[in-house]
Amino acid sequence: LDALSKQVARTEIALSKLAWLAFRMCPPAARDLCPSHLRRLLARWRPVLINYASPGVGCTFLSACCEAKSISERTTTSLVRILLENKADVNRTDPSVDGAKTSALCVAAARGRPSLITLLLARGADREQVCPGQFTVTTNKAILGGARNALGWARAMLRHMQDEHQMHHDTDDLDDAELRAAVEKQRRCVELLSAPVAALTSSSRNSRN
């Protein structure tokens, strides 16, 4: 094999290992997907093509971390920061087999992750990039589909959550603290994506610390 073929092969192995951790439903695997594990993985298979879009695995390093199941927003943001430090393209879309091309920013917007949005915007994420696809509403597992930019996805999710919150209120369902928290996070995402670039300066500085 030539040098490039060997690098692609190493990248495929590293990416498949990351994807296994990211998309496994079982909590033990999710706990293994942490910043230290990602650093070890990148070091073990270095040099990898950090922006490689694997047709076999169906993701990039960035999309695997952004779409990972059962990990916190804080962990996701830390993983993405590591990838950006390793020259990951913040606007790279994943090679989904169903034709969807979701960006990290659209995923963060649809999943209600304001700290991740702050980091991505600070690193030059394109707010106007339109991403077709489907996302699961975190509060009730409904599926929202369409083609929207990040702000469009954030607003669509917020409207759905607000409608759900109103339904809880109308039926006197008082056990909706989790829903209220999700609505507030989603509202914060809309605010961040609606703000002029200049207004994000202080948040951008914090995201680099």
Cα 209 to Cα 51, 54, 77, 203, 205: the distances in Å are: 24, 31, 12, 10, 7
What pLDDT, in 10s, does the model give residues 38-66?
Answer: 999 999 999 899 999 887 777 899 989 99
Contacts of 188 (CB under 8 A, 6+ apart): 114
- How far apart are the C-alpha atoms of 104 and 47, rounded to whole Å? 23
What pLDDT, in 10s, does the model give residues 141-164?
Answer: 788 999 999 999 999 999 998 887
State residue 97's pLDDT score: 47
CB-based burial label for 161 (10 Å; 0-12, 13-18, 19+): buried
204 pLDDT band, cuts 50/70/90, is low
pTM, full prediction: 0.85
Contacts of 142 (CB under 8 A, 6+ apart): 136, 160
The answer on pLDDT for 171 being more than 70 is: no
Which has more confidence, 178 or 92?
Answer: 92
